[in-house]
Amino acid sequence: MISKDTIEQIIYYARIDEVVGDFVPLKKRGSNMWGCCPFHNEKTPSFSVSPSKGIYKCFGCGKAGNSINFVMEVDKKTYPEALRYLAKKYNIHIEEKEVTPEELAAQGEKESLRIINTFANKYFQNNLWETDEGKSIGLSYFRERGFRDDIIRKFELGFSFEDRKALTKAAIEAGYNPTYLVKTGLSILPERHANETNITEAHIFDRFAGRVMFPIRGVSGDVVGFGGRILGNNKETAKYLNSPQSEIYDKSKILYGLYESKKSIQQEEFCFMVEGYTDVIALHQAGIENVVASSGTSLTVDQIKLVQRFTNNITILYDGDSAGQKAADRGVGLVLEEGMNVRVLLFPDNDDPDSYAKKVSADELKSFIKNNSHDFITYSASRISEEEKKDPIKKTGFIRHVIEIISLIPDSISRSVYIKECSRIVDVDEQILTLEVNKIRFDKETRKQKDKNRQQNSGQKPNQNSGQSSNQNPNQNPAYYAPHPDEPFPDEALFAPESLEAIETEQRQMRLDVYDVIEKNICRLLLKFGHYLLDVEIYNQEGELMTMQISVAEFILVELFHDELTFVSPVNQLLLDEYVHELREDRIPQENYFIMHPNPAISQMAVQLAEDAYQLSENWLNKYGVHIETEIHNVKKTVEHALYVYKDKRLMDMIQELKETLKDPENDDEMFMTLSEIRKYESFKARVNKLLGRTIVK
């Protein structure tokens, strides 16, 4: 359990611009800093960071919060994990007692897996540097590969003993749960023990025995998995072995070296993409630090999007063999499809970045990369010989290959530039290439459209990646649209039960949205003006009118509690409950208390309110007279308006619900009682509409 004082210290030192800057390149504009949002795809920065307020806000997707929320959201951490990450970043000491297996289980599975991986990482490093077996086998191997000791320590490389019980035994003796050792993939549970309800040391053994170890980190630096390389020449055993899929490790969403390289990627404004662990390490040793690896997996869209957080420019550095060429071709298409800029370099003589870096000096390596990186068209053209260019069939195949890739580019201007370059290289009319590219794009969109229609008519969910809605033709021309044979005619669809249900659902949502707007305004006033004092008139027990001072918070809560009103929106009620809790402790919480709240739902809402993300529309201004820009000059009137608008809406809905019951009353008595209730609430509603400034507290 982290103490409140430590949490306050973390909040004090964790500058929002520094925390966010580790994940997103930021540029100063006015008093705030701006970048592309890490939570959704965008090309124009709409992600704002306010150092003075200590908050972030995306005006594209609506995400908002403080430094702790950001770490939780961007790296999928729990609240304690985010605190520990920030404490480590700012060298803030956290007192923690030894973790028992019971406490470990209580902390949650993801956190437990991370803690065990941290233990294993230290264990492997200690083996490498402090044991005879580690120094003579593991450390000797790394040094023979040409890696300096400082680079070995930088990447926290390690060694796993030949003894297949070594790590498992050490971890269990240190108090770690064998179940989590299996879930991280550090230990293996044989199939014959798969049904064991109580896993013990006797049931499991080490996965990475007799290997040098490469810890794999997430963007924030947590060890999420491991890669292990065998040192012998046993062809029956895989040379490299990675951690299996787990709650914290998905190899398709992780890039090796990103944690160590992200600052350099931001500074250089481009990223080198390589294939293996040693490629990354060798380039770092040569002074090239803006490099990451797909680490034993084909490049994926998720990996590309990770790079896109830090730069829009990728250079693919792959092996010069046929496998490397195929991987480069595939990677180029994926990068271009995400709207990024890509260049390609293949090393000569079947070299890879690691082996080539050992043949030349650091300066020669940098010069080679600079002079031999090409855009994908030039790179593709370099692979077809002069003789092949004279062969119409092979030339046609090359052209089709290139325009297929160009067709993936989402930006029309970029496509046009590449088409022009392709036209120059292959000596084919630019207009013909443009027509071919558009045909490919049209065919793909048409196929997506057909798939969507099929899925919708079969009751399946449409593909998330498909481009347009099923009632819209890809070429945007309504004349080309023909309904599917099984599709109902419009008049049938309009009165279908599912259509009526959809209308009712939409109406309910609209009603909730209206309440959310009104309730958020009340919450905003609580946070902004809760500590302000108001002069209010009340009647004492003798019936005499007198004036007294109460806070805005007390004024609002008395009005709500007097009429037994609670908020319709659960999130708004959550904030209100928290406010009441603090008042009962004789504290009037202000804006910053909620912005830094450990509950993300509360803190995100507080940030949205603080940033004026909630704005009253012109309709609300005209209808209710709530003027945000002048409210500070008449807080009392502003608060009263907000409360009476809310009461008016609640009464309106109550009256409407009662009127609905009149359509089918059970008997005359019920009808007369309902009419009486309606008259009573209409009377209340009339009074609410007349109330301006006098409050009667009973």
pLDDT, position 571: 85
Length of the chain: 698
CATH code assigned to 258-437: 3.40.1360.10
Comparing 326-330, 339-343, 468-472, which segment has the lowest mean pLDDT? 468-472
* The two three-digit tokens of residue 245, written as one number: 């899929």
Domain ranges of the chain: 4-89, 101-249, 258-437, 514-690
For position 505, what pLDDT does the model report?
63
**Between the ranges 90-99, 341-350, 459-468, where is the mean pLDDT highest?**
341-350
- If one counts every other C-beta atom within 10 angstroms of the C-beta of residue 557, the result is 18
3-state secondary structure of 101: helix
pLDDT, residue 139, reads 96
Highest mean pLDDT among 54-63, 537-546, 672-681: 54-63
Whether residue 635 is predicted with pLDDT greater than 70 in this model: the reply is yes
User: From CA 224, how far away is CA 379, in angstroms rounded?
Assistant: 36
pLDDT at 46 exceeding the cut of 70: yes
State yes or no: pLDDT of 479 exceeds 80.
no
Lowest mean pLDDT among 2-6, 176-180, 585-589: 2-6
Cα 231 to Cα 216: distance, rounded to the nearest angstrom: 19
Q: How confident is the model at residue 315 (pLDDT cuts 50, 70, 90)?
A: very high
Q: What is the pLDDT of residue 619?
A: 43
Residues 665-691: tens digit of each pLDDT: 777 777 777 787 778 777 777 766 665
The residue behind tokens 């000791």 is 149
pTM to 2 decimals? Answer: 0.63
Percent of the chain with pLDDT strictly greater than 90: 20
Give bridge partners of residue 206 from the DSSP assignment.
187
pLDDT tens track for 124-139: 999 999 999 999 999 9
Contacts of 162 (CB under 8 A, 6+ apart): 133, 209, 210
How far is it, in rounded angstroms, from Cα 252 to Cα 73?
A: 19
- Whether the pLDDT of residue 256 is over 50: the answer is yes
Residues 529-547 as b/e (b if ≥16 CB within 10 A, e otherwise) read bbebebebebeeeeeeeee
What's the CATH superfamily of 101-249?
DNA primase, catalytic core, N-terminal domain (3.90.980.10)
Task: Dig out the tokens for 446 from the structure.
Answer: 């048409």
Superfamily of domain 4-89: Zinc finger, CHC2-typedomain (3.90.580.10)
pLDDT digits 0-9 by tens, 409-433: 888 888 898 899 888 888 889 899 9
Sign of the C-alpha dihedral computed for residues 539, 540, 543 and 547 taken in this order: negative
Report whether 54 contacts 604 (CB < 8 A).
Answer: no
- Vertex 288, ends 287 and 289: CA angle to 5°? 105
141 — pLDDT class (breaks 50, 70, 90): very high
Taking 80 as the threshold, does the pLDDT of residue 309 lie above it? yes
**Does 486 score more than 70 pLDDT?**
no
Confidence of residue 585 (pLDDT cuts 50, 70, 90): confident
Q: What is the pLDDT of residue 281?
A: 96
| DSSP 8-state assignment for residue 100 | P
Q: How confident is the model at residue 614 (pLDDT cuts 50, 70, 90)?
A: very low
**Using 50, 70 and 90 to split pLDDT, how confident is the model at 620?**
very low
Give strand pairing partners of 342: 314
SS3 of 332-396 = HHHHHHCCCEEEEEECCCCCCHHHHHHHCCHHHHHHHHHHHCEEHHHHHHHCCCHHHHHCHHHHH
Cα 445 to Cα 477: distance, rounded to the nearest angstrom = 14
pLDDT at position 119 is 95
- Tell me which residue of 228, 88, 87, 215 sits closest to 153, measured CA to CA: 215
Judge whether 201 and 172 are in contact, CB under 8 Å: yes
Q: pLDDT tens for residues 172-203?
A: 999 998 999 999 999 999 988 877 778 888 88
Structural contact between residues 260 and 126, judged by C-beta atoms closer than 8 angstroms: no
8 A C-beta contact, residue 307 and residue 300 = no
**356: Cα separation from own chain's centroid:** 37
Residue 616 has pLDDT above 80, yes or no: no
Residue 305 corresponds to which tokens in the numbers above?
């999007």
Residue 617, pLDDT > 50, answer: no
pLDDT of residue 93 exceeding 70, the answer is yes
| Count of alpha carbons within 13 angstroms of residue 551, beta-carbon side | 17
pLDDT at 155 over 50: yes
Residue 554, pLDDT > 80, answer yes
Residues 350-386 pLDDT 10s: 788 898 988 888 889 989 988 888 888 887 777 766 6
Whole-number Å distance between alpha carbons of 622 and 102 = 59
User: Looking at residue 480, what is its pLDDT?
Assistant: 32
Average pLDDT over residues 578-588: 83
Q: What percent of the chain has pLDDT over 70?
A: 83
| pLDDT at position 105 | 53
pLDDT at residue 591, rounded to an integer: 81
Supply the DSSP string of 253-280, one letter for each residue.
G--BTHHHHHHHHHHHT-EEEESSHHHH
Q: What is the DSSP letter of 138?
A: I
Residue 494 has pLDDT above 60, yes or no: no
pLDDT at 171: 94
pLDDT in the model for residue 223: 94
| Cβ within 8 Å of residue 639, ≥6 positions away | 525, 529, 534, 552, 555, 556
Query: Which are the contacts of 365, defined by CB distance < 8 A and separation ≥ 6?
Result: 283, 286, 288, 356, 357
Any idea what the Cα angle at residue 472 is, between residues 468 and 474, rounded to 5°? Answer: 65
**Distance between CA atoms of 188 and 201, rounded to whole angstroms?**
11
Cβ 255 vs Cβ 299: under 8 Å? no
Q: Residue 375: its pLDDT value, please?
A: 85
Q: Backbone phi, then psi, for 396, in 5-degree steps?
A: -65, -40
Q: What is the mean pLDDT of the chain?
A: 80
Residue type for 194, please? A
- What burial class does residue 112 get, using C-beta atoms within 10 Å of its C-beta: 0-12 exposed, 13-18 middle, 19+ buried? buried
* 527: its two tokens: 């946070």
Task: State the first-to-last Cα distance of the chain, in angstroms, to the nearest integer.
Answer: 45
The answer, yes or no, to whether residue 572 has pLDDT greater than 70, is yes
- Write out the E strands in 122-239: 158-160, 187-188, 205-206, 211-217, 223-230
Token code pair at residue 117: 């991986």
Rounded to whole angstroms, the Cα distance separating 61 from 68 reads: 19
Reported as a single tens digit per residue, the pLDDT across 507-516 is 667 777 788 8
